[in-house]
Structure 1
C-alpha cells in the first residue's frame, strides 16, 4: 500500500517457504530490516529505534486449502513521531511483511491503525465478510 505522495506504508509476501527452521538470527534480521528501511526512505529510517526482535508466525491457507505457518523474525521499531514500524524478515533474508506508521492504542493494548494488509479486515470493512471482534475489530479514534 502506498500513499498519495508515493510513501510505501505496507507490503506483505507470505509464502510457505518462510519456515521457522530457516530464520535469520536477531542481529542479522535487524541488519536486513535497517537496510530495507533505509533503502525505501532514508530520512524516515533515521528516526527509528528498535524496540524488540522476536519470531513472528502467521497462519495462512495454502493453495490446496491446507493451513500453512509463515515464520519470520519481526523487527519492531518506534519512530521519533511515536508511530510504530516493523519488518518481518524470513528465510533467505527476504522481507515477509513491512508496515509503517502504526498507531498503538495503549488503553486497549492493540493497534489502532487499520489492518489493511489483513484479508479478513479488508473483507469485513468492505461489508462482504463477517464482522470482526477482539484484536481485529476496528477502533474509532
Structure 2
C-alpha cells in the first residue's frame, strides 16, 4: 500500500498525463485508505484496496484516484457532481456494483451517499 505522500504524487502525475487542464485546477481534499468490494466476472466477491486521493476542481466538480500496491492506478473517476442539499452525489455511479445492480433491477434507491438511480 502506498503512503499518502506517494499516492498523491502518483495520482497527480496520472491526472497531469491524462488531462493537464483538469489537473491544474485540482486541490486535494483528503487522502485515505479505501476498500471497495467488487463482483468479479465469475461472480466472486473480492475486496480491492488502495489509497484514495480525493480532489476538488475549481469548477466545483470532484475527481478521485485510487492508487494500489506498487503505485499502480486501480481506478479513477472525474467530473463528479455533489448535491450538498441532499448530502449525496448527483453523478451516476457506474464503477459501483451495488448501484449498477440496483439501477438494472429498477430500484429501490440505495440512499445515503449514493446517487439517485435515475442519475
Shorter-chain TM band: 0.7 to 0.9
| 1:52–1:113 Cα change, 3 Å | same
Question: Secondary structure, in 3 states, of the residue corresponding to 1:97?
Answer: strand
User: Residue 59 of structure 1 aligns with which residue?
Assistant: 37
Number of residue pairs matched by the alignment = 118
List runs of 5+ in structure 1 lacking aligned partners: 1-22
Q: Which runs of 4+ in 1 moved over 4 A?
A: 62-66
2:6 corresponds, among 19, 28, 32, to 28
In the superposition, the TM-score normalised over structure 2's length comes to 0.84
How far residue 123 of structure 1 moved from its aligned partner, in angstroms, is 3.9
1:137/1:86 Cα in 2 relative to 1: closer, same or farther (>3 Å)?
A: closer
Greater strand proportion: 2
Q: Which residue of 1 aligns with 2:23?
A: 45
From 27, 49, 55, give the equivalent of 1:77.
55
RMSD of aligned residue pairs (Cα, Å): 2.3
